[in-house]
Amino acid sequence: MAVRAFIHSSLVRGLAYAAVLFWIAPVWPAEPRRVLIIHAFGHAYSPWSDMAGSFRAELIKNSKEPIDLYEVSLDTARVENSQNEAPFVDYIHALLGGRNLDLIVPIGAPSAFFVQRNRQQLYPGTPMLIVGADRRRIPGYSLTENDAAVLLDQDLPAHLANILRLRPETTEISVIVGNSPVERYWTSELRRDFQPFADRVKIEWFNDLTFDAMLKRVVSMPSSAAVFWYLLSEDAAGIPYSQDRALETMREIASVPIFGIGDYEIGRGIVGGPLMQTQKLGEQGAEVALRILKGEKPSAVKTPDVVFGSPVYDWRELHRWNISESRLPSGSIVQFREPNVWEQYRWQIITLAAVLLAQAAVIAGLVVERRRRRIAEAQERQRLMEVMHLNRSAIAGALSNSFAHELG
């Protein structure tokens, strides 16, 4: 019995000791999930940089696990020959330093093409999530079982329809598009989709012009013309441009309104209309990325293509070009509306009105009091006159009686 009791007490002490060690043992942090974001341009470039910014923010905010983000900006979108991409592959491997990778996220179609061409040399077993490419550039047969995609479905004719709705007097539309391989592809797509408008409006293409030549053209356009800004990363002379700055430069000197394609251009000079939703593309991409990082099979994660949202317009540009808001489609969103006098100085107006009303009330009270006093004074004078008349009448009567008495 003593031995059994000793064994039992030792077992209890051992379990208690193990429990104490369990509770005081350090909690090791979870291994971070490593995500590689790949850009096709060598610098921050809209709309892809805007999509990537939204993607990063949403991914980090909503992930319950630590995220280790790697970001690579290549310059393959403007390269004609994609045969020698080995240095880019080597750079990515050197950046990761032999670490495991949980997800590759190419932003835009050029980045996706780069990963597809070099998948075996990069990380053949790592899932890929394509974010922000257009549906027509990423056909379903090009995706493997280890791929997912959050794609954009652009309605190109809707842009021209928007211009003609807001400015039915338009007879000429100049299309701003560059001359890189990506832009040459989109020039072909735009020409085809804009063909139904050829009998209604003259369409001029600026893809074979330098940016300086484009600026000279937009300075002297007739009032019945408009500019449609699609994409400019490289002009006909091979000079690269930052699209945002180039758009702002053209807006400063343009003699006609400029229309664009994305929400990232609102506030930079475009009038607005049905626009690409870069923020939504990034947010939806982050949702899919989290599902893949949790273990879902990429090809099983299906999401609808991102289409245009409610039309968005810049109030300042509408006002600048005398475009009535009555012409906007139903459900349109107008941004940057300047407050009217009431909205801007509401409390000052209310305070001043209250002071004026108080002063008016005091003045009205004084006027009424003065009028009442004058009426009272007039009545008093009237009574006094009546009393005086009665007194005179009484005196006259008394005198008459006295004279009559004396005479009698």
Cβ–Cβ < 8 Å for 156, 190 = yes
Structure tokens at 273: 């209309």
pLDDT of 17 = 52
Cβ–Cβ < 8 Å for 172, 220 = no
Q: In the predicted model, what is the mean pLDDT of the chain?
A: 87
pLDDT of 23 = 47
DSSP character for 276? B
pLDDT in tens, 78-129: 565 566 788 889 999 999 888 899 999 999 999 999 999 999 998 999 999 9
What is the Cα–Cα distance from 201 to 50, expressed in whole angstroms? Answer: 33
Cβ–Cβ < 8 Å for 62, 290 = yes
Average pLDDT over residues 223-230: 96
pLDDT in tens, 375-388: 888 888 888 887 87
The residue among 217, 201, 208 whose CA lies nearest residue 256 is: 217
Structure tokens at 125: 């077993």
Domain ranges of the chain: 33-152, 156-277+306-341
pLDDT in tens, 160-177: 999 999 999 999 999 999
What is the Cα–Cα distance from 352 to 20, expressed in whole angstroms? Answer: 72
Lowest mean pLDDT among 61-70, 74-83, 303-312, 388-397: 74-83
Average pLDDT over residues 192-220: 96
pLDDT of 374 = 84
What is the Cα–Cα distance from 295 to 197, expressed in whole angstroms? Answer: 48
DSSP character for 172? E
pLDDT of 143 = 94
What is the Cα–Cα distance from 116 to 134, expressed in whole angstroms? Answer: 16
What is the Cα–Cα distance from 404 to 398, expressed in whole angstroms? Answer: 10
pLDDT of 205 = 97
pLDDT in tens, 233-265: 899 999 988 888 999 999 999 999 999 999 999
pLDDT of 242 = 86
pLDDT of 271 = 97
215: pLDDT strictly greater than 90: yes
pLDDT of 166 = 97
Lowest mean pLDDT among 59-73, 130-144, 326-340, 346-360: 346-360
Cβ–Cβ < 8 Å for 114, 133 = no
pLDDT of 25 = 41
Cβ–Cβ < 8 Å for 69, 35 = yes
What are the two backbone dihedrals, phi and then psi, of residue 170, each rounded to the nearest 5 degrees?
Answer: -65, 130
Peptide bond connecting 157 to the previous residue in cis, omega within 30 degrees of 0: no
What is the Cα–Cα distance from 277 to 77, expressed in whole angstroms? Answer: 22
What are the two backbone dihedrals, phi and then psi, of residue 320, each rounded to the nearest 5 degrees?
Answer: -65, -40
Cβ–Cβ < 8 Å for 261, 276 = yes
226: pLDDT strictly greater than 90: yes
Instruction: Tokens 């400019």: give the residue.
Output: 232
What are the two backbone dihedrals, phi and then psi, of residue 215, each rounded to the nearest 5 degrees?
Answer: -60, -40
pLDDT of 43 = 64
Taking the model in full, what pTM does it have? 0.77
Edge to edge, the sheet with strand 33-39 lists 67-73, 33-39, 103-106, 128-134, 147-152
Average pLDDT over residues 320-339: 93
Lowest mean pLDDT among 130-134, 252-256, 355-359: 355-359
Average pLDDT over residues 128-156: 95
CATH assignment of 33-152, given 3.40.50.720, 3.40.50.620, 3.40.50.2300, 3.40.50.920? Answer: 3.40.50.2300
Q: What percent of the chain has pLDDT over 70?
A: 88
pLDDT in tens, 16-44: 554 444 444 444 456 899 999 999 876 67
401: pLDDT strictly greater than 70: yes
Average pLDDT over residues 359-378: 85
pLDDT of 6 = 42
In the chain, the N- to C-terminal Cα span, in Å, equals: 163
Q: How far is CA 27 from CA 30, 115, 302, in A?
A: 9, 37, 37
CATH code that applies to domain 156-277+306-341? 3.40.50.2300
